[in-house]
Amino acid sequence: MDSTEDLDYPQIIFQYSNGFLVSKVMFTACELGVFDLLLQSGRPLSLDVIAARLGTSIMGMERLLDACVGLKLLAVELRREGAFYRNTEISNIYLTKSSPKSQYHIMMYYSNTVYLCWHYLTDAVREGRNQYERAFGISSKDLFGAMYRSEEEMLKFLAGQNSIWSICGRDVLTAFDLSPFTQIYDLGGGGGALAQECVFLYPNCTVTIYDLPKVVQVAKERLVPPEERRIAFHEGDFFKDSIPEADLYILSKILHDWDDEKCRQLLAEVYKACRPGGGVLLVESLLSEDRSGPVETQLYSLNMLVQTEGKERTAVEYSELLGAAGFREVQVRRTGKLYDAVLGRK
């Protein structure tokens, strides 16, 4: 029997059409502090109490809470006094600010920045370029100048990336045994969450976060604990400045920002700096070789179109980029999660 016979095509189309509504419900509940309030209360709260404490209308909050119940982000208990709401486990773990695995910051980045770029997806597809100028009225000739257009926006982005590594960092850093590499450079290491996970997993290593001066300053002052002595910092632009010698270079979600020419340029410089026997670890979301999935990676690639100069790639494409720079013994590990690992050796 053709498997398509069981598909409810109108329902699928409706679900796809409503996808942005679903995410906006979650983003709005996060921004208003619904999940944080319910966690802090330690008990279910009524609609009136939630609306009063968060300073919203009762009518609007009721609809938002009911939508969250439908999405399994909240649970509701009907009492004689009315409806009482509480967080579900998934919300306590991922949507409250205080959770170690909180995704709050990346939610806010998507809601306030990514969404505005996606509004111009049609233009991005027509033109083949990112949409910062339309979305924010600023030039994107300096890509990260546009992305880091204010300290607030930069902090939002860095905190969002840190939240991703709080749940994905261990998977990519243990995809290969990195213990032989003792001096590591995390190129474009941003807020430092991956570096912190690395020194936790491999206590004998040191990690240097190499990033733009203003990123390093924020990471030092606000994101990386000052007592962590195994993490150092290096200010620079790896497309313009020299890359110091090391055993291993981590490029996590770096190459997907750039076209093939820029990737080859960067990897060639990394190869020159790398010690013999050392390597480079790419952390990226890998497309299948026939480009039929995963759907998350296909969507990420569209996001690269509206926000950057790059794209998501297949394992073979990354292997070819590494090979062109001189790296050999390229190995690929699919983690089964959002991000995968590719290791090349010199």
Decide if 168 contacts 340 (C-beta within 8 A): no
Active site residue 256: yes
Preceding peptide of 100 cis, ω within 30°: no
Decide if 229 contacts 207 (C-beta within 8 A): no
The pairing of strands 340-345 and 274-284 is: antiparallel
Give the dihedral sign, CA 235/240/245/251. Answer: positive
CB atoms within 10 A of CB 139: 11
Q: Which residues contact 24 (CB under 8 A, 6 or more apart)?
A: 111, 115
- The Cα–Cα gap between 249 and 236 comes to 15
Residue 67, H or E segment:
helix 58-70
DSSP string, 38-62: HHHHSS-EEHHHHHHHHT--HHHHH
Joined tokens for residue 120: 């111009």
Q: What is the DSSP letter of 286?
A: P
- The Cα–Cα gap between 118 and 116 comes to 5
Considering 105, 119, 234, 256, which one is annotated as catalytic? 256
CB atoms within 10 A of CB 145: 13
Decide if 310 contacts 256 (C-beta within 8 A): yes
CB atoms within 10 A of CB 92: 17
Catalytic residues: 256
